Each structure stands twice: as structure tokens, then as C-alpha cells.
Amino acid sequence: MRVAHITPAFHPNTGGIETLLSLLLPELRKSGGVDASVMVGAPNIWMEAFTHIGVEEHDELDIRVARFGRFSDTAIDSVETHLRVAAAVRELMERWVPAILHIHGPSRLAYPAYRTARSLGIPQVLHIHGSVKGNFSPAFIRMCQEVETVIVPSQYVADSLYRDAGRKTAVHVCFNAVKTPVSPANIRPGLYLASPRLITAGRLEANKGHDIAIHSVRRLVDSRLPVTLTIFGEGPERQSLEDLAVSLKIRDHVMFNDPISHDEFLAGLETYDFVLVPSRGFEGFGLVAAEAASRAVICIASDTGGLREVVVHGVTGLLVPENDPDAIVNGVLGLVSDMPKFNMMRLAARNHAESAMSLQALASSILNVYATLAKGA
């Protein structure tokens, strides 16, 4: 079965959708014989290479990939640009001849691909990875209402589709997947946490709440716990976050790092004691929280969005109110003073990742969706 994927980003794996696709596409090929191709709706915020003109098509990870760059020197939202993008999408669809179109979230390719697939009689699935509360276009909202099948990573996103996009028909909830969790035998033994290592990762923007993590470091240092916080990511708030650390006089406790490959990130994740995910409102799933569980690292996350479905409060991690660094501090202090609970929670997190977020389970669910769509085509 040939399936064309439409995505805003793909490889290198520096974000949620890229990471998910890098795991999912090979598994779909292995489990269901799916021949995948990918259209990437660049420019991508992480790679300057996406400033090319037109479409660049080549093989990546044994997958046919078409990357969309600039199509004119006029504004990106000009009628001319939209027409050229739509024509390029149609040319690829007619040449690739997919049996199914799988659209991942909003991108500048999503709506033209959707319209093209409808005109060609190709069944499609819309895979939404976050809330639809944002400033999505009316065209994308129509897609949410009209498309045959929608996949979402959490009930939170499903509820958002019904409530905020007006979808009337069924939505498939499929938890995102993580790589095979660390073996219980390889979980490093818990020691007395005299100097806990904290980590956050994600786009440096207000929604991710990195500033809350920095404020929590100030309070932990004030409580005489010499923590360090490592932040992986880049984005518009990088300088303001660095300035915040300076103003709070904890710049030597906060390390900023550019995004790294997914494998490097996972390998390093196991050396940390806590993963902080202090997001504000729009977290559809929380892949970093899920990956923390897979590495047996305790996650302290905002009690918001899909995070409350990924983190089981008091069992695999802690959920705290949004914008509340004191709650993060209390969580860290409570666990570093109770090593039996700390270690029990780490093992529970690892087991939860294995049972609820397996790659095989996600692939199986999606293959069932494909089979249903193909029968109805």
C-alpha cells in the first residue's frame, strides 16, 4: 500500500512530529508493508536549507521525500505562491499515486493536498498532534470537520476537535509512541540527590513555559538545593530566557543547548533526575514527558492538555498547576528526600511507557485505520 504523508517537518528529528515519523514510517513498512513517501511543507524553523526554490525531491531514510521551499519572491501568502504550491502538490500526487493521504497537522501543504486528494478520489486521514484552539485558518477548520478520518494523540485533542472545530463524526485516539524503554536492569541506581540535574526541551516560546522552569531553579537554590537546569531548544525566546537567568542571578545554574538528534537526546536523558514540562495550555500530548518515562526519569509537568494523560500523577510523575514554580519546587524537594518513592516512581514511569506508548500498538492502530479507508475507497 502506498501512503503519502504531508507534514510541516521531517528529519532531522528535533521536534515531536519529526521524531514520531522517524519511528512510525519504518514500523508501518515492517508491520504492514506500507510504502511511504513524504511531502514536507518547509520552510522549516530549524533548518536554513529550506530556503531553496521550488521542490527538492530525494531519498531520506529509504523514504521518498519532497521538500517544498520558496515558490516566488512575493509574500508567502500571495495568490501566486498558493497556486504554485497547489500545482506542485498535484503533480506529485499524480506521479506518486498514493492509495491513502496521511496529513499531519496544519501546514501550508495541508489544504492543497486535501483538495487535490478529494478531486482524485484518494481517501485521507488527518493526524492532529495538538489543540485546535490556536489561530488555525478557516480552511483547516473545514478539513477538521469534513475529512473522513481523524487521528489524535489524546482525548484532550479529541475533545478540542469536537468543541472548537465542530467535528461531528468519530475521532481515533492513538497515543504517540516512544522508542523501546530502557531495560529495568539498566536503570541506574538512585543515589542521594544532593545536586539534582533537571532538564527541559522544546521550542523556546511562551507556550513551553521554560521561564517557569528557570524561576523554579531560583527557588530551589534558595532552599539550599544546588540544582542545575539544562535547556535544549531554540526559538524566539532564547535571549529573554538567558536574560531571565542572569536577572535571577542563576546563570551558572542554567545551561542552554541547541537541539540535538533524537538518539543523542535519549541517550543523555537517562543521566538526569527530573524532566520539567511546564507547558501552558496547548500541549496536545507531551512527547518529552513520554520519552522521560521511557528512560525511567521522573517528569514534573503542567496539569494541562494531553499531559494529564501521559503523566499519571503520583505514580509515574507529578502534575502541577500551570505557571506555578513553587509547585515544581515542592515536587522536587519531596522526592529527593524520599528515595524509595523516587525509585518506585521511576520504575512505574518506565513500565507505563512500555504498556501505553509502544510503537507496535500505534502502528497497529494506524494500519487498521488505513485498512478501513482502503475498503471504503
Higher pLDDT, 49 or 229: 229
The predicted-structure confidence for 156-172, as pLDDT tens digits, reads as follows 999 999 998 899 998 99
**Alpha-carbon dihedral 18, 21, 23, 26, rounded to 10 degrees:** -140
Neighbours of 186 (CB within 10 A): 11
- pTM score over 0.85: yes
Per the prediction, the chain carries an average pLDDT of: 90
The pLDDT value recorded for residue 69 is 82
The pLDDT value recorded for residue 377 is 62
- Tell me, which fold does domain 184-356 have in CATH? Rossmann fold (3.40.50)
The predicted-structure confidence for 46-91, as pLDDT tens digits, reads as follows 444 456 678 889 998 889 999 988 776 655 567 777 888 899 999 9
CB-based contact 197:272 (threshold 8 Å)? yes
Domain limits, CATH 3.40.50.2000, in the chain: 2-177+358-376, 184-356
Q: Which CATH architecture has domain 2-177+358-376?
A: 3-Layer(aba) Sandwich (3.40)
Among candidate residues 52, 90, 58, 57, the one with its CA nearest the CA of residue 71 = 52
Pairing of strands 63-68, 55-60: antiparallel
What SS3 state is found at 104? strand
E strands, the chain, are 2-7, 35-40, 55-60, 63-68, 100-104, 124-127, 149-152, 172-173, 197-201, 228-232, 254-257, 274-277, 298-302, 317-320
The mean per-residue pLDDT over the stretch 280-297 comes to 91
The pLDDT value recorded for residue 70 is 75
- Bridge partners (DSSP) of residue 64 are 37, 59
Query: Rounded to an integer, what distance in angstroms lies between the CA atom of residue 128 and that of residue 136?
Result: 12
Tell whether the model's pLDDT for residue 155 goes beyond 60.
yes
The predicted-structure confidence for 325-334, as pLDDT tens digits, reads as follows 999 999 999 9
Higher pLDDT, 141 or 74: 141
Higher pLDDT, 71 or 204: 204
Range with the poorest average pLDDT among 21-25, 246-250, 279-283, 312-316? 279-283
Query: Rounded to an integer, what distance in angstroms lies between the CA atom of residue 250 and that of residue 244?
Result: 9
The pLDDT value recorded for residue 74 is 55
Half-sphere exposure at residue 330, Cβ-oriented, CA atoms within 13 angstroms: 8
What the block records as the C-alpha cell of 194 is: 544532593
Range with the poorest average pLDDT among 24-33, 185-194, 328-337, 366-375? 185-194
Among candidate residues 117, 185, 177, 182, the one with its CA nearest the CA of residue 148 = 117
Q: Is the peptide bond before 184 cis (omega within 30 degrees of 0)?
A: no
